[in-house]
Amino acid sequence: MASAISIEVLGGRQAVLALRTLTRKAEGEIVKRGVRAGAKIIAQEVRKNIKTLVGVEQGDLRKSTTRRSKTYPGVFNITVGPGHARASHAHLIEEGTVDRFTKSGAFRGKMTPVPFAEKAFDAKAADAKRVMETTIVRGVEREASRLGRSS
């Protein structure tokens, strides 16, 4: 079920030179800002899908939709989706279940999958990627112009 967006910002000689002049800290902040902006779009769509597809107006599942980030050397990773202990049932709704029985053999039902997070990603991945790219490019241009004025 994991989905990912990869972006590679390509530009002319000026963009490459601008990237080289940025400090690692500034570069990291620009990338984080861009990725967070894209993730926000997907998180909004997840919340909307929880309301429309699952039929939950409010509650733990909807409130728990978060954006969690982790940074590795050269990589900024962000995860969007339900992520709270009170919404530990989110994967059951997303992926569904098989027939369930108690230890004594009583049938407890089957849940059909309602892929609210996957559909959100599929619907908004292109928008999120575009927002990420434009936010990163604007950040690089802003930082390059700031560095150009200070030197």
Res 105 pLDDT > 90:
yes
According to the model, what pLDDT value does residue 10 have?
53
Q: 67 or 150: whose pLDDT is higher?
A: 67
Categorize the per-residue pLDDT at 56 as very low, low, confident or very high, splitting at 50, 70 and 90: confident
> Do 76 and 114 meet the contact criterion of CB atoms below 8 Å apart?
no
Judge whether 51 and 62 are in contact, CB under 8 Å: yes
3-state secondary structure of 96: coil
Coil/strand/helix, residue 108 = strand
pLDDT for the residue numbered 4: 58
Say if residue 20's pLDDT is above 70.
no
- Residue 104 pLDDT exceeds 90: yes
Instruction: Give residue 29's pLDDT.
Output: 82
Instruction: Kindly state the tokens that stand for 3.
Output: 């989905």
Determine if the pTM surpasses 0.85.
Answer: no
User: Domain map of the chain by residue range?
Assistant: 22-140
pLDDT surpassing 70 at residue 74: no
pLDDT at residue 135 is higher than 70: yes
Per-residue CA distances from 108 to 57, 88, 89, 90, 97 (Å): 25, 19, 16, 18, 11
Q: pLDDT tens digits for 25-41?
A: 777 788 888 888 988 99
Contact 36, 77 (CB under 8 A): no
